[in-house]
Amino acid sequence: METSSSPMLELRNVAKRFGERSRNGLKDINLSVAHGETLAVLGSSGSGKTTLARLVMRLTQPDEGTIHILGQDISRMGGNALRRIRPRFQMVFQDPLAAFNPRANVKRILEDPLRIHGLADRNEFGAVIIDALERVGLGKEYLQRLPLELSGGQRQRIAIARAILTTPQLIVLDEPVSALDVSVRAQILNLLLDLQEETGVSYLFISHDLAVVRAFADRLVVMDEGRIVEQGTTEDVLANPQSNATRVLIDAVPRLSV
């Protein structure tokens, strides 16, 4: 059972294997995310970040260890038990276009979680959906648009609106701004911060972008070849990196010459 002191998310000794030679497996992952906290998972391509996100979302199952959300072990949960808790944790992908039905308009995209999880009466769908759109800075004029008729930033706002419809307490953000222009990126990050302040939602923020992590995350873990090699507050880790993987990421950030 959840207690006020228990983490929102906790992974204990989690491992995932994809064959002998795979670099994308995970080994002995231990981390936690507190209520209302943003934990960033930083690492280069192939470090295991997306595998970690898929495990937390139970899109795949760990070979070892446990994953607790709100005090409940979901690592081997299935059927009705998993369906009941799934509204509590949602995901926003790097490419929302790939996560949307390209033939469904925004209205249908946002109706789906309400229908699947039985979160509202059908005659309430309209009001609930418009409220979600307004919370992400869009209006009802977007309801009939298809995903391809939206800009990248608008699609990501729709993806966030879909995620918050279930009133989740944890959102996994898998590179949510990496495909966006710099100005749009800032808008989406500010939107996520506003939603966190409003609702107290926790974020697991998957990224390879050091500048974004520095501005957005309370704490971070650094992954390399499927392991956590460093973790701590964002400020402490970036100011005093202890692992070679962290130093490589820091050194890779472009610097202006003067």
How confident is the prediction for the chain on average, in pLDDT? 90
What's residue 139's pLDDT?
Answer: 93
User: Which DSSP category does 124 fall into?
Assistant: G
Kindly tell me if the per-residue pLDDT of 12 is higher than 70.
Answer: yes
Residue 162: its pLDDT value, please?
94
Q: What percent of the chain has pLDDT over 90?
A: 66
**What pLDDT shows up at residue 5?**
67
List the helix and strand counts (H, then E) for the chain.
Answer: 10, 10
Does residue 160 surpass a pLDDT of 70?
Answer: yes
Of 39, 30, 34, give the one whose Cα is nearest residue 64: 30
Name 62's bridge partners: none
**Distance separating alpha carbons of residues 180 and 159, to the nearest angstrom:** 14
pLDDT digits (tens, 9 = 90+) for 198-215: 999 999 999 988 888 998
**Quick check: 70 and 138 in contact, CB under 8 A?**
no
Which spans in 200-240 are helix H? Answer: 210-216, 234-239
Q: pLDDT tens for residues 117-155?
A: 888 888 889 999 999 999 999 999 999 999 999 999 999
Per-residue burial over 97-133, b if 16 or more Cβ lie within 10 Å, else e, is eebbeeeebbbbbbbebbeeeeebeeeebeebbbebb
Q: What pLDDT shows up at residue 46?
A: 86
Residue 3, pLDDT above cutoff 70:
no
Q: Spell 64-81 as b/e; 16+ CB within 10 A means b.
A: ebebbbbebebbebeeee
DSSP single-letter state for residue 141: G
226 vs 252, residue with greater confidence: 226
Tokens representing 147? 């995903």
Mean pLDDT of all residues in 235-240: 94
pLDDT at 23: 58
Residue range 1-24: mean pLDDT, rounded: 76
**Contacting residues for 133 by C-beta, under 8 A, at least 6 apart:** 106, 110, 139, 140, 142, 143, 161
Specify the pTM.
0.91
Task: Give percent of the chain with pLDDT exceeding 70.
Answer: 94
Tokens of 154: 């608008």
Q: Does domain 21-251 have CATH number 3.40.50.300?
A: yes
- pLDDT bin (cut points 50, 70, 90) of residue 254 is low
Q: In this structure, are strands 64-69 and 72-73 parallel, antiparallel, or unpaired?
A: antiparallel
Please give the average per-residue pLDDT across 55-62, as a whole number: 93
CA–CA dist 2, 71 (Å, integer)? 5
| Domain range summary for the chain, segments of one domain joined by + | 21-251
